[in-house]
């Protein structure tokens, strides 16, 4: 099996809340698409290949290459140098709250289609809009047309696509006027519950959005709800079925950063194995719960084995 992964790499910069005992300066590590990449590379079987397509700032290239050596399944031929810095995402904890303020600097240029095209002969595609500017809508259209005849499944994670950037580099929710075109002809779509409610200029509620979105040749819509689990809306013969998945016990829940990236990667992996949307959602929900039990990338190389020991991978 071969899986192609598209989206922006980032350097995550984690700032503790004021008064925290955490040592300064803030913790830094690779993030963004690397969470998805590490998940897939940890889950696939020997002989399978995971092919990421993204750029990395020149000064971070060697460190990234070294980090990827932990995962033998990674084919890094689609990773390329970009001028300037790697996309940097700063997470600021708010005192007395689980909420975080997110800022972005050095956002990379969209990944051009000519970088992606050589990797479209694949069993599955994961497009993770880590920065929201990872690919253009025209590039997504080109990808859809390129894999249309082969019916290659595309899993599309909206992630930061519904976020703008203000003059202080803060991310803020803003609707997409062309959301229908972004959603068209995708096998599966992933959004958080906040992304669902902030997607449309019409301010559609969840039920209305589902009824508007699913006719756009979408087979499954996954709505992630953090500690409360996830919802899968599956379409078959123009009939919609809704399945709720409770949050998985995570003791203790340490860090939510990267959970959505892990969810999407685990979902696509399991779907390619079994072609069952509900089973894949249950598996992804379990994987995201495991990710929440450790900070950053610390436990990513072993996440596949941990899932197997819980029985979720069988």
User: Is the sign of the CA dihedral 105, 63, 5, 303 positive or negative?
Assistant: negative
Residue-range definition of the domain harbouring residue 230 = 2-298
What pLDDT does residue 311 have? 60
Pairing of strands 163-165, 220-224: unpaired
Q: What's this model's pTM, rounded to 2 decimal places?
A: 0.94
User: Domain for residue 311, yes or no?
Assistant: no
User: Domain for residue 306, yes or no?
Assistant: no
- CATH number, residue 191: 3.40.1190.20
What pLDDT does residue 313 have? 55
What pLDDT does residue 97 have? 55
Alpha carbon separation from 189 to 38, 40, 185, 224, 267 (Å, rounded): 20, 18, 10, 11, 11
Q: What is the pLDDT of residues 210-241, one digit of tens each?
A: 999 999 999 999 999 998 999 999 999 989 99
What pLDDT does residue 112 have? 97
Q: Tell me how many domains the chain contains.
A: 1
Could you list the mean pLDDT of each consecutive 10-residue stretch along the chain, which spans 314 residues?
Answer: 97 75 72 95 96 96 94 97 92 69 92 98 98 97 97 97 94 95 98 96 96 97 95 95 87 82 97 97 95 89 85 58
What pLDDT does residue 26 have? 77
Residue 181: DSSP 8-state: H
């Amino acid at each position: 099996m071969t899986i192609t992964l598209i989206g922006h790499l980032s350097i995550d910069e984690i700032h503790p809340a004021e008064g925290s005992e955490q040592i300064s300066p803030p913790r830094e590590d690779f993030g963004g698409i690397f969470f998805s990449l590490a998940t897939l590379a940890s889950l696939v079987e020997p002989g399978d290949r995971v092919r990421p397509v993204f750029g990395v700032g020149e000064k971070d290239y060697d460190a990234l290459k070294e980090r990827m050596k932990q995962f033998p399944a990674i084919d890094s031929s689609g990773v390329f140098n970009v001028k300037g810095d790697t996309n940097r995402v700063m997470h600021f904890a708010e005192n007395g709250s689980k909420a975080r303020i997110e800022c972005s600097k050095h956002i990379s240029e969209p990944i051009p289609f000519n970088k992606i095209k050589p990797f479209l002969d694949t069993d599955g595609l994961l497009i993770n809009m880590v920065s929201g500017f990872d690919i253009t809508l025209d590039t997504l259209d080109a990808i859809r047309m390129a894999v249309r005849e082969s019916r290659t499944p595309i899993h599309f994670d909206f992630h930061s696509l519904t976020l703008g950037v203000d003059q202080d580099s803060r991310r803020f929710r803003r609707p997409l006027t062309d959301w229908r075109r972004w959603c068209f002809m995708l096998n599966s779509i992933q959004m958080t519950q906040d992304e669902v409610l902030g997607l449309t200029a019409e301010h559609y509620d969840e039920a209305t959005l589902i009824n508007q979105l699913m006719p756009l040749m979408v087979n499954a819509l996954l709505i992630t709800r953090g500690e409360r689990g996830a919802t899968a809306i599956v379409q078959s013969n123009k009939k919609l079925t809704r399945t709720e998945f409770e949050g998985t016990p995570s003791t203790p829940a340490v860090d939510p950063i990267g959970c959505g990236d892990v969810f999407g990667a685990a979902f696509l992996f399991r779907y390619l194995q079994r072609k069952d949307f509900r089973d894949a959602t249950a598996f992804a929900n379990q994987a995201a719960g495991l990710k929440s039990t450790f900070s950053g990338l610390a436990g990513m190389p072993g996440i596949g084995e941990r899932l197997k020991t819980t029985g979720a991978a069988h």
